[in-house]
A and B are shown apart, each in its own frame.
Chain A
Amino acid sequence: MSALAAISPRRRRVDRAARGTVFALTLVALVPLVLVVYYLLLKGLGAISVDFFTQDPTGNFLGNPGGIKSALLGTLELVALASAMAIPVGIGVAVWLVEYGRTGRLASIVRFFIDVLTGVPSIVFGLFIYITLVLTGFLDGSFAGWKGSAALALLMLPVVARAGEVVLNLVPDGLRESALALGAPRWRVITRVVLPTALPGLVTGSLLAVARAMGETAPLIFTAQATLATSFDLNRRMNSLPIQIFSDIQNPKAEIVQRAWGSALTLVALILIITLVARFVAARRSTLTA
């Protein structure tokens, strides 16, 4: 110790203060998480019962407000269709970027546009679909569930493509070269070697996109709109959890606001489950290809 100059008390104090501040701010960042979860459980659990999930909202201001059956099923339908549209296209674009486009100019343009899409506010996606599919009365009728799905798909697409690209890049070139050296054509290398190797990562990226789409409200206002009854016809208006919550919040009646909390708890639980599954798959992937 004697040979080294001791750190002056002032520097020591500054160091301690700065580290303390950083720690304190980190704790502050966790406060909203704790509070949101606390209030969701506090106010949401009381709303949840069997009827809550098995009844459609009645739309009555007085009397029984009903449950969220149509909203819950609607969300699942909308997101399922959106995934069916966005995931294959997103992964296709990612495969093109990694296997064919690589570092070419066209690829960097595509990459740029995908990045641009990632940053576009969700409400703008809703407007896109509104002006192209709803205003024009495309495929008879104005608002329709599948148009809502299309808006959600636009939102998911860049997330799937971006995550897909990262994961496909992790597939070792050695695997591709071995397959090519054995005489496999390019398309078989992609479908039999590259995609299966990257599968866990692709699943993770897709699930995260699903989780993001599930909570979106803004794009659905202009596209799927809302209705009270459960519907399995994607060419009609369709209810969804976020829209149900959004309209319930603005209602002055306590029971209806309580339904909003219950729906919010349901929605967050759904999203959390999907996110956790995504993380679980991701954790398994890292032992495979890291």
Chain B
Amino acid sequence: MEAGTLPRGGRSSLERSPRARLPDRLMRYGLLGLALAVLALLVVFFFILVSDSQDVFAKQGVVGFLFDNDWNPSRDQFGALPLVVGTVITSALALVIGVPIAIATALFITELAPARGRTVLTTLVELLAAVPSVVYGLWGVFVLIPNLKPATQWFADTFSFLPFVGGTVAGPNYFIAGLILAIMILPIVSAISREVISTVPPDHKEAALALGATRWEMIRMAVLPYSRAGITGGAMLGLGRAIGETIAVTLVIGNATTIGKQIFDQGYSLAAVIANEFGEASSDPLHRSALLAAGLVLFILTLVVNGIARGFVVRSERKQKVTSLAVTEAEA
């Protein structure tokens, strides 16, 4: 802009007048304001959530709230251990069931499927993400629970020597909740794994094949080690989803405020208790603050899990510089 410098009124003839530059400023700082507003909003929400949940922390202490095994709103007892345990058990089950299947679909789509089948399979797996949580809940209550009862009872009887298995199978239980969560996290874990696996350099794979490796050996020695960090990140993002999932879990976990002795017992989760007891709590400030505290725990928990997950995914993306729309879409 400094090229043709014939000063006229103190500025270059090529420079725009201050008035003509105004829209530029407006756009730049307007958009910056928007971006900062989003940050500010999140911070404000966090602090209000913290301050509104103080009542219950003042009464029971943070440790008492998290680790007392006594959730009884009618006696003003808010020990959330049964809820925390329920959240942990169901999310762990979701990972155990969902992640291997998600990785398998990702491997099949990227490495083994014929080229024509790939798009179809990808779309089908992603359709799982289009089904809303409440519909999975509906399906869980009226299809899964009645139809799986005999099979799970047989499993509980036959494998009662395993820890946390055995006894009478309750209708709604931890296992059903974990199973539904597994289905719900499958698309995102699969999409990220697929994305990561497709960045494995062809050189690595061809080198393995040239050395005489079979397809599976190539996957095991070249593909999986290269994409391990990314797949771990994907699984963690799935974990974040599972922890916060509310409605489907509320419908199939049984909503019992006791800690189940085995995975086919009824239980409760942090998210489910908020959705369920919200109505009755609106007139009782202590109860309400307990539910907000449960929300706060969920918020912090998902922040930590997602932070770690992002770390893994970013690390694997840096290996091969890719920004992927597919991942963003899968998260939608």
Contact = CB atoms under 8 A, between A and B. Distances in A.
Contacts of B195: none
Interface residues of A, number: 96
A265 B28 CA distance: 45
B325 A167 contact: yes
A146 interface: no
Given A15-B215, A128-B45, A121 B271 contact: yes
B121 A271 contact: no
A279 to B, nearest CB: 8
Contacts of A192: none
B132 A121 contact: no
B62 interface: no
A121 B124 contact: no
Given A22-B104, A39-B143, A167-B325, A218 B246 contact: yes
Contacts of A161: 38
Interface string A1-17: 00011010001101100
A183 to B, nearest CB: 9
Nearest to A250: B251
Interface stretch (A45-53, A54-62, A89-97, A228-236): A89-97
Interface stretch (B17-25, B65-73, B156-164, B199-207): B17-25
A112 B271 CA distance: 24
Contact of A36 (B28, B131, B217): B131
B130 A122 contact: no
Contacts of B328: 159, 162-163, 166, 205
Contacts of B216: 14-15, 18-19
Contacts of A122: 244, 246
A138 interface: no
B221 interface: no
A264 B134 contact: yes
B270 to A, nearest CB: 9
Contacts of B26: 187
A260 interface: yes
Interface string A257-290: 1001100100110011001000100100000000
A101 interface: yes
Interface stretch (B5-13, B29-37, B75-83, B259-267): B29-37
Q: Which of B21, B121, B131, B190 has the most CB atoms of chain A within a 10 A radius of its CB? A: B131
Given A119-B302, A167-B325, A249-B251, A211 B130 contact: yes
Contact of B325 (A11, A97, A123, A166): A166
A48 to B, nearest CB: 15
Contacts of B58: none
A26 B42 CA distance: 39
A12 B130 CA distance: 39
B302 A120 contact: yes
A217 B299 contact: no
Report whether over half of chain B's contact residues are helix, strand or loop; otherwise say mixed: helix
Contacts of A211: 130, 332
Contact of B42 (A116, A121, A167, A218): A116
B88 interface: no
B105 A249 contact: no
Nearest to A95: B31
Given A12-B214, A121-B302, A163-B328, A29 B125 contact: yes
B215 A131 contact: no
A216 interface: yes
A39 B139 CA distance: 8
Q: Which of A14, A123, A169 has the most CB atoms of chain B within a 10 A radius of its CB? A: A123
Contacts of B295: 123-124, 127
B93 interface: no
Given A26-B108, A185-B24, A260-B138, A218 B306 contact: no
A224 interface: no
B325 A201 contact: yes
B186 interface: yes
Contacts of A36: 131, 135-136, 139
Contacts of B133: 215-218
A124 B301 CA distance: 12
Contacts of A249: 134, 137-138, 141-142, 251
B247 interface: yes
Contacts of A187: 23-24, 26-27
Contact of B112 (A22, A101, A124, A272): A22
B165 interface: no
A121 B104 contact: no
A154 B37 CA distance: 12
A110 B32 CA distance: 10
A29 B105 contact: yes
Nearest to B136: A36
Contacts of B186: 29
A190 B28 CA distance: 11
A204 to B, nearest CB: 8
A112 to B, nearest CB: 8
Closest 10 CB pairs of A and B: A121-B244, A215-B132, A119-B306, A25-B104, A96-B31, A208-B332, A15-B214, A18-B216, A187-B27, A218-B246
10 contacts: A99-B31, A119-B305, A119-B306, A132-B45, A159-B331, A185-B24, A201-B325, A246-B247, A249-B251, A264-B135
Interface of B: 16, 20-21, 23-24, 26-28, 30-32, 34-36, 38-39, 41-42, 44-45, 48-49, 52, 100-102, 104-105, 107-109, 112, 121, 123-125, 127-128, 130-139, 141-143, 183, 186, 190, 212, 214-217, 219-220, 237, 240-241, 243-247, 251, 271, 274-275, 278, 292, 295, 298-299, 302-303, 305-307, 309-310, 323-325, 328-329, 331-332
